[in-house]
Amino acid sequence: MEEAFRLDLNQSWEAIDIKTGHAVLIPKGSHRAIRMLLKGPHDQIEENYLVVTVQHEGTLVLAGLREAFWRQWEGHYIPELRVTIREMTEKPHPPLKKRP
């Protein structure tokens, strides 16, 4: 089972497209994120990333933040950065029952 997190941003934040290595923005708001072990785009060293799906130039891409970068925020609210990262404890909502 993958580790899931909630990433709350009060401003857009720059990350990388994990497939191309290009810069993408994670928009302001609340995002579901997962932890993934990936090879860095430049040095090909395996490292953990916090990954969210974002819309970039009309397509969905996976935007990643390096673990060394985001672990310092985990479980903390940092006013200067306006970022909160915490483990997700939410359970999926049960499907709504349709009335006959």
In a domain, 94, yes or no: no
- pLDDT, one tens digit per residue, over 10-25 is 788 889 998 888 999 9
- Residues 6+ positions from 89 with CB-CB distance below 8 Å: none
Assigned token pair, 66: 């390096």
Domain that holds residue 52: 4-87
Note the pLDDT tens digit of each residue in 43-73. 678 888 889 999 988 999 999 988 777 666 6
Question: Does pLDDT of 96 surpass 60?
Answer: no
Residue 90 has pLDDT above 60, yes or no: no
Whole-structure pTM over 0.75, yes or no? no
96 domain residue, yes or no = no
Amino acid at 38: L
Percent of the chain with pLDDT over 90: 18
69's enclosing H/E stretch is: helix 67-70
Number of domains in the chain: 1
For the chain, state the CA radius of gyration. Answer: 15
Helix (H) or strand (E) holding 68: helix 67-70
